[in-house]
Structure 1
Amino acid sequence: MASAYQTTPARILELADAGRLVDEVGAHLVAAGFSVQEPERESWRRSLPALARHLCALGFGHLDALVEYQLPRSSHRVDVILAGAEPITLRPAYLVLELKQWSAAERYDDEGCLLRGSWTSKPLLHPSVQVEAYCSYLVDHLERLREWPEAVHGMAYLHNATAGSIPDRPSPRTFRNMLYTPDRADRFPSYLADRFAKHRDGRAAHRLLTSPVRQSPRLLALASDEVGNRGHFILLDEQRAAYELVMRAVRWADEGRRKRVVVVSGGPGTGKSAIALDLFADLLGQGRQVNHATGSKAFTRTLQLYARKQPLTPARRSDRLFKYFMHFSDSRRNGLDVLICDEAHRIREYTTLGRRSGSTHASAGGSSPRPQVEELIDAAKVPVFLLDDHQIVRSDEVGSVAAIMETAERLGLEVDLVTLGAQFRCGGSPRYERWVRCLLGLDDAGPYRWTGDESFRLGLAGSPEEMESILRSCNDRGETARISAGFCWPWTLQSQGGRLALDVRIDGWARPWNAFEEYPPPGIPSSSYWATDPGGFRQIGCVYTAQGFEYHWSGVILGPDLVVRGGRFITRPAESRDPKLVSKDGRVKARNADKLIRNAYKVLLTRGLYGTLLYSVDPETQEFLSRLIPAPRRRGRVVAPGVERTGAERNRREAVGSEAPRASTSDAPSMGGTGIRRHGLSDSRPQN
């Protein structure tokens, strides 16, 4: 079940009058794993009673109101969803509401998707665009809404503004991007009367909150349709703002205006690659000269593979559209319209010449005289960088927000910076994301016990054999699973006798690393496709083959390079076998090895969409983790991390049917929960 504070407009007014509303909503969010800031509390204090008072005055005080509804598999939240029944048909009806206290705003760009407010220097997404995306996301992800998409309407509710003080919504106008201001109030009563019966019908809210969530497709599976068939990711809030800033920079470049650099920063799963691929597909559709570049061999080659599968023209299907950062040292200045640099934290200080695959201009050796980030900025009229400062995992990687902005400013260029907050991986769980940061010492707080999250599963395996068995059951039923490990075992680079060497050895258990060579033995994917090829489950991945990818279930083996001593994780770089960190004679050569090891494990621990399973080879560390993480539970047979099967879960899977192979409909991990708090409703006692 979804997470929401369930109440009614009448109850909102009662709580507001009693001075309890803000504390009640805040307590719900804290219990769901969110941190609550004062601006949010002030918004509830001002906007929720204004909406509730209006609805009560019109006779709709008993509708179900889902406050701070968390979107499925995302940490984004909708301000309010009104749920009820249509007056005549009694079919479920929903109104998604984005509440704003704004009194005035002006256009930030010509299209009107971005606005400018006097209270901030950052561009603001038009609230009508924002709520329209929420509606589309809900219909796309919830099975019961996909059956009846017309049930979902959306409205930006600006109770302090006027029609003249806020630019109108961008065209086309639909029932999903309506805009309310008090001077347009004459239309609101008739709309509500046509939309909702005045009596409460709890079936609509129940249907929404208990809807099965569509099985989450992985990023690159969507990218295949995106590049080939002009499909789209649904970009929300800051994601859409970043997209619009790039498109504005492209239009300004056409007009000969000053060149701009766009920087998009965000943690794992915040949608950086979704933005990149949406931009890439749309710019290609406009006939623009655009390249997608990364510093990751695995990510670039996988994108090339997916693009080749699509029915594009040979020119658009060519691998030349997907390049590496090192391919731009001799590019013509501003030769591209747009260069999209994904995973830009992997930018190197300088491009090493003579090692550039496919380059006809490579010299015999040496380095480019200019910093690599400067080469990338010079290569396009609009350079775009998408990165996470905390995913730098090699000593020669220098990509950071500060480095890019400093270079742009030195070149006399203006920068648009967008910071992504919400995340979509790890079940959209802010609780898990915070737990990982604290576990690894990347936050001020220390490690603490995992208390659970209905949207994400976390478990501790007692052995690598148990981890493999649990994840194999997930993988066999069509939900992708992978095991990765810290780079703490030697790596035999060439196969032997048609087999990969069993390099990763833990007691009596042994498995190979993912293949290193380009042409591995039959049935084994090359390293570039370990995360996406079905055959990848049988090998152990490392940070270099996992970074940039996602899979439904993730197993992570902590090696002896990261252990607990005295209640805290410490790094032991000398235990690493990563040639980027340690020389052949065992000397630690990376100056920032501690940070790189912690960042590497942060990457590995944030690959899973549904859940993560951990195991440490160090007994003291394993004992420490056992006090923080529940062991995986079983009922009859091995299941996913921390999950027991229930009759309700079997019914849910049978109702969905098409999510997974039907050979075992009772075996999929539970994605539901009890994240609803009901207040003042006839069928539930209030909880304080």
Structure 2
Amino acid sequence: MKGPIVEEVKYDHNVVSSLSHSLEDSDEKRELIMDYPTDYVIYYSKKGKTANTYEVYVGETNNIGRRTLQHLDDDPRERKDWERLANVDEVKMLVIGHEHFNKSLTLDIENRLMLYLSSVDAVKKLNNRRSNSQNKYYTSTEMEKIFTKLWRKLNKQNQELFPLESIIREKAIFKASPFHSLTKEQSVSRERIMDKVSEALKEEKRGQLIFVEGEAGSGKTVLLSSLFYLLSTLETDVSMRNYLLVNHDQQLKVYQEIAVKLGLTKKGDGAVSKPTHFINTHSPNDPVDVILVDEAHLLWTQGKMSYRGENQLVDLLKRARVVIVIFDKHQTLTTEEYWEDSEMDELRESAKRQNNLIQLRNQMRMDADPETVEWVKSMVYDRKLSNIPKDSRGYDLKIMTSPENLENEIRKHVSDKEIKENGLSRMLATYDWKYIQQKHPDNGDEYWNVEIGDWKKAWNLQLKQSKEEKRNNKSLSWAEQPQTINEVGSTYTIQGFDLNYSGVIIGPSVKYRNGRIIYDPEASFNSKAIQNRTLKDHSKIKVADELLANELNVLLTRGMRGLYIYAVDEELQSKLLQLQKEKDYQ
């Protein structure tokens, strides 16, 4: 099989003659470009202070000449993005052909180009109106190889617009992109949800709840992102009002960048925001069409700061025709997010009765045997420590003898080569060391630290950055910022994100006594998890045991290829090392 053909020409009315001229030495190439299906990338660049930025359009066609003339002559009358491209000088066009291209394959390549280019820092605007991921077809098994060869070729032409494939794949925005190919489970779920939304809007229903549940790594974020893109690009008689909300600062930055880059929203219009902002700026008297809530287990169930209500989900249901929530009860982390069982059961059962309960069962984050995943779950929730399984897929689950060894193990996975191939690795810890935001320690230290004996590292987002570093890191999640290899992350910065390898320090709030894991609130500095929860009847209960288990679950399920553990509690560490030794001698 020959490689892809890439021809660059000026984007104007002379595209056909320009292509014919550049391909005049090869009848075969000219035929593949001019007479067969092709993909194309139209782009222009603006010079910035430190680097160029790009506006890009990606498409596919059966006739590149006719399609280009449509873009130049017809599309500008109806769409501002095409009008802008038609009036800018020095717009370039890359036309891509291959001997095995057919309609389905070019659609798949188009979708993959959208996935990658939407994750490129230099691309500030990416224009398209559809997501075209295909199912199986005659040449579908060749797509991955063809695309990798194509991207390498594009990278040689323009490294700024087409960075190394491995650099793109590590980005948080890539992992949350709406252009990922959906699994069968995700695809069926999306179709069900879209049918439900359509039905609710036609019948002018109000406060319809669609409840999507799944554990960490089940593909909830990709499904939500895909739904938001699909709803935002639907061509309807009346413009739909759709909102994406999340109570997680790091994830919010990612969604806002995606929305602005893809033209789904304008910067600052609140279409992608926090629930409190939405509730305070919208009235129940004027309901929007659809609200999508990621990490809905982080919604507040009591008043706090600028939120004066009692339950954010209830308030959202009053302000929308349809509310789609992505929920994982094992990722509720604070008392202000805590749901009384009766409340959650009532909402879940209500959704179930209306056939609005969507369950995602496939675990896709940890590239591990089911036995390995079950070992982690059993430790966290069954409070049991069993034999550490040998993983046939090569998942590296290892107990470390000290925090220094844990750090050294993580640093083995931070070479440029490994980051490019597999992604980022970082240290994490349970919230068992003091940290007060926007305040310095009173012991003279410059940072709040995770400290064990002579070893200490700054808590997340503590290390000082230059103005240039701050500017470069502005849109990056915690793990993506280069200096964070010298910090320790918490649930508040890593929840919702993947790592290649994670090194987890289990602090003194997790202990091992009488053959069981126990959670000790007295040893935790996570005040939001250990304070009493006031119930609707005004009684107070302690829910720290449940919330500290969830905290540990979030930390232990971040690593895709490996998990390294060190426990501060002597009995827990001793038991874990014993199990590690038994595993090594198997």
TM-score normalised by structure 1 residue count: 0.54
Q: 1:484 aligns with which of 418, 428, 431?
A: 428
Which secondary structure state, in structure 1, belongs to the residue aligned with residue 254 of structure 2? helix
Q: Could you report, residue by residue, the CA deviation over 1:238-257 in whole angstroms, capped at 9, with x for unpaired residues?
A: 32222112211222134225
Counterparts in 2 of 1:561 and 1:303: CA distance versus 1, 3 Å: same
Determine the structure 1 residue equivalent to 2:451: 505
Of 521, 544, 547, 1:593 maps to: 544
Q: Quick check: 1:264–1:418 contact (8 Å CA) kept in 2? A: yes
1:387 partnered with 2:327:
yes
Q: In 2 relative to 1, CA 562–372 (structure 1 residues): closer, same or farther, beyond 3 Å?
A: same
Partner of 1:247: 194
1:376 paired residue number: 316
- The correspondence for 2:250, drawn from 298, 316, 324, is 298
Query: Which whole-Å deviations, capped at 9, do the CAs of 1:44-93 have from their partners, x for residues lacking one?
Result: xxxxxxxxxxxxxxxxxxxxxxxxxxxxxxxxxxxxxxxxxxxxxxx9xx
Decide whether the 8 Å contact of 1:346 with 1:399 is kept in 2: no
2:368 paired with 1:422 = no
Match of residue 393, structure 2, among 434, 454, 468:
454
Kept after mapping to 2: 8 A contact 1:344/1:385: yes
Question: How far is the alpha carbon of 1:508 from its aligned partner?
Answer: 1.0
CA distance in 1, matches of 2:474, 2:440: 15
Kindly indicate whether the alpha-carbon contact (under 8 Å) linking 2:491 and 2:551 is maintained by their aligned counterparts in 1.
yes
Judging changes above 3 Å, is the alpha-carbon distance between structure 1 residues 428 and 390 closer, same or farther for their aligned structure 2 residues?
same
Establish whether residue 622 from structure 1 lines up as the match of residue 562 from structure 2: no
Match of 1:186 in 2: none
Query: Of 204, 212, 219, which residue of structure 2 is paired with 1:264?
Result: 212
1:320 aligned to 248, 270, 273, which one? 270
Q: CA distance change for structure 1 residues 224 and 384 in 2, over 3 Å: closer, same or farther?
A: closer
Query: Structure 1 pair 329/311, CA: closer, same or farther in 2 (3 Å)?
Result: closer
CA contact (8 A) 1:484 1:604 kept: yes
1:475 counterpart SS class: coil
- The Cα of 1:537 is off from its aligned counterpart by 1.8
**1:534-568 deviation line (CA, Å, top 9, x unaligned):** 32222111111111111111110000100112222
Q: State whether residues 176 and 225 of structure 2, in contact with CA within 8 Å, keep that contact through their aligned partners in structure 1.
A: no
Deviation string 1:407-453 (CA, Å, 9 cap, x unpaired) is 4878999351011111110115422221111112x248653322223
Which secondary structure state, in structure 2, belongs to the residue aligned with residue 350 of structure 1?
A: coil
Are residue 469 (structure 1) and residue 408 (structure 2) matched? yes
Deviations 1:203-248 (A, max 9, x none): xxxxxxxxxx99993573326754xxxxx22222332222112211
Task: State how far apart, in whole Å, the 2-side matches of 1:531 and 1:555 are.
Answer: 13
Q: Is the 8 A contact 1:389 1:401 kept in 2?
A: no
* Distance apart, 1:355 and its partner CA: 2.2
Is 1:342 paired with 2:294?
Answer: yes
Q: Does structure 2 retain, via aligned residues, the 8 Å contact 1:133–1:235?
A: no
Report the AA paired with residue 277 of structure 2. H
Q: Which has the higher helix share?
A: 2
Residue 378 (structure 2) pairs with residue 438 (structure 1): yes
Secondary structure in structure 2 of the residue aligned to 1:240 = helix
Deviation of 1:631 after TM superposition, in Å, equals 10
Contact kept, 8 Å, 1:495 with 1:520, in 2: the verdict is no
Cα 1:443–1:411 change in 2 (3 A) is closer
Superposed displacement of residue 342, structure 1? 0.7
SS at match of 2:188: helix
Superposed CA RMSD:
4.0
Q: Structure 1 counterpart of 2:429, which letter?
A: A
Partners of 2:148 and 2:379 in 1: how far apart? 39
The C-alpha deviation readout for 1:271-306, integer Å capped at 9, x for no partner, is 111111001111111253211111222221333245
Task: Point out where structure 2 has 5 or more consecutive residues left out of the alignment.
Answer: 1-99, 101-132, 151-164, 533-539
- Measure the CA separation in 1 of the matches of 2:319 and 2:577: 51
1:601 deviation in Å? Answer: 0.5
State how far apart, in whole Å, the 2-side matches of 1:280 and 1:407 are.
23
Q: Residue 280 of structure 1 contacts residue 292 of structure 1 at CA under 8 Å; is this kept in 2? A: yes
Q: Does 1:569 align with 2:517?
A: yes
State the one-letter code of the partner of 1:416.
Answer: N
Amino acid at match of 2:559: G
1:234 aligns with 2:186: no
- Contact map agreement 2:168 2:174 (CA 8 A) in 1: no
Q: Secondary structure at the match of 1:469?
A: helix
Identity percentage over the alignment?
25
> Quick one: structure 1 residues 537 and 254, their matched pair in 2 at CA, closer, same or farther if it must change by over 3 Å?
same
**Which stretch has the larger CA shift, 622-631 or 590-599?**
622-631
How far apart in 2 are the matches of 1:341 and 1:594? 26
* Matched residue, 2:174: 222
In 2, Cα distance between equivalents of 1:132 and 1:302: 26
Name the CA distance, whole Å, in 2 between partners of 1:137 and 1:574. 60
Distance 1:257 1:581, change over 3 A: closer
Distance 1:267 1:321, change over 3 A: same
Q: In structure 2, how many angstroms separate the alpha carbons of the residues matched to 1:137 and 1:540?
A: 45
Which residue of 1 is the match for residue 488 of structure 2?
540
Distance 1:473 1:327 in 2: 42
How far apart, in 2, do the equivalents of 1:494 and 1:619 lie? 33
The corresponding residue for 1:203 is none
Asked if structure 2 preserves the Cα contact closer than 8 Å seen for 1:263 and 1:401, the reply is no
Count matched residues: 416
Q: Cα distance 1:411–1:247, how it changes in 2: closer, same or farther (>3 A)? A: closer
Measure, in 1, the Cα distance between the counterparts of 2:475 and 2:246: 16
The amino acid of 1:290's aligned partner reads N
**CA contact 2:530–2:542 (8 Å) conserved in 1:** no
SS at match of 2:276: helix
Q: Where do 5+ consecutive residues of structure 1 fail to align? A: 1-90, 92-130, 149-212, 227-231, 357-366, 634-688
Alignment partner of 2:518: what SS?
strand
| Alpha-carbon distance in structure 2 between the residues aligned to 1:303 and 1:401 | 30
Indicate the SS of the match to 1:426. coil
Question: Do the aligned partners of residues 144 and 435 (structure 1) sit closer, same or farther apart at CA in structure 2, a change above 3 Å counting?
Answer: farther
Q: Distance in 1 between matches of 2:247 and 2:139?
A: 31
